[in-house]
Chains A and B, each alone.
Chain A
């Protein structure tokens, strides 16, 4: 019980820490890709920049429009942040540690519906954006909210479908089972290249990241759903985006890149705890790569137009995802029979 609580708190802190430094990394990556240097004033190489940003956010005036719906205006960022943080509990962050005789698995909870739980949290997360955008009583915010809702509902379909194909292979919805299977065999990316591609595209859309960042599209909608937000409430929205990015990267690594699996590590005969720690480090390296991918794509691709976004979701990704399910089913049948 106590190790679980400690692990939970540690997980929360690590998630927040990674998200904070993701904001710094985003600025650095953007700068480097544009031949700039990026933040370098706060601390060595600007490493204290996230703290400076946080202090700035808190010190800013917390403004609420007179015609806003008071409690929904508060609720919006709270929901966004809470759902973003809740997702991390089902992800297996590592193998089973040996704590002086008692086994401790680096996962808070392993329900047999793990991946569906992630979906459920993502689908509740829409409300944070929708309610916040609506409560602001601002047309741009409302447009942002509506865009976010329709975009997330649309892309959830293709995302779910690409997961269906994966589940046909694994035969389990538990994230831990999925990782263990990949440890035993090959990583799922080998079997599901198309599914992986679809999942990544949909993950970008679900996180409202470029090229799908239409809900906060600053060229058209001022700030989108957070136009009227300021101070730490705005900070929560921005922060939730990075937390979502971190969790999405973790889910992608877990589902398609073997999670905490390091190939050939088990054959080296290292002590169990060392193997587990190395596995967790490997998972974080994979996550770092995917966070970098998120940023890399953001600073490379221009934003989609709204009708193009819907076209892509409904006319390309969903048919492709159905095709992927079909192919996977046929492949599974040919190999294993029913």
Chain B
């Protein structure tokens, strides 16, 4: 049998009993004045908790997992090969894709012979766990520090390739290095592994 907890859980915990209130407590005024003293103290406290959002941002964790990006390689070809490992790994079943075969003349667009003709993530289902990123053998999908914007209808939250694939322009590429710890970066330099080549 478990022993009852005798030690208070926090420093502020108090033993509550239904004892009759004393006269001073029943007048309420001392308690009211005490409470008003507390609020007045806060009134004059200079340190405020407000973060003025658009100008001032709350500090974000460097490994924040936000909106996904489908990366291109250095030559601007889509890395995704529609293997479906991310969809399998996804615990929320948010990812669907349709694979297609690369035709002649499309080598500039897709890195491998197979590519994702349709790639959709339902952002309402996604729990931003990052399992897709771990599962991806092609370094194609990453979670970034960008936030998923709000909207009014459910349909708009199913993000297709036009939202997910990063822009071709090198200046507009999405930087995912922030989420890459040293060990991962080391691993990627190792050209012994097929998908790092």
Which residues of A line the B interface, CB within 8 A? Answer: 29, 31-37, 40, 296-297, 299-301
Contacts and interface: CB of A to CB of B under 8 A. Distances in A.
B173 interface: no
A308 to B, nearest CB: 11
Contacts of B43: 29, 32-33, 296
Interface string B50-67: 101000000000000000
Contacts of B146: none
A225 B44 CA distance: 35
Contacts of B39: 33, 296, 299-300
Interface in B19-52: 32, 35-36, 38-40, 42-45, 47-50, 52
Given A32-B44, A297-B36, A300-B32, 10 more contacts: A31-B50, A33-B43, A35-B42, A35-B47, A36-B48, A37-B48, A296-B40, A296-B43, A301-B32, A301-B35
Contacts of A296: 36, 39-40, 43
A32 B42 contact: yes
A300 to B, nearest CB: 4
Contacts of B44: 32
Contacts of A299: 39
A301 B50 CA distance: 23
Contacts, number: 37
Contacts of B49: 35-36
B35 A300 contact: yes
Contacts of B47: 35
Contacts of A300: 32, 35-36, 38-39
Interface in B60-115: none
Contacts of B42: 32-35
A20 B35 CA distance: 28
9 contacts: A29-B43, A31-B50, A33-B42, A36-B48, A296-B39, A297-B32, A299-B39, A300-B35, A300-B38
B32, B39, B52, most chain A CB atoms within 10 A: B39
User: Which 8 pairs between the two chains have the least Cβ-Cβ distance?
Assistant: A37-B50, A300-B39, A33-B39, A35-B49, A32-B43, A300-B35, A36-B50, A300-B36
Contacts of B52: 37, 40
Contacts of A34: 42
A73 to B, nearest CB: 31
B25 to A, nearest CB: 14
Nearest to A36: B50
Contacts of A35: 42, 45, 47-49
A250 to B, nearest CB: 22
B66 to A, nearest CB: 26
A37 B48 CA distance: 7
A296 B42 CA distance: 11
A34 B43 CA distance: 7
A40 B54 CA distance: 13
Nearest to A197: B29
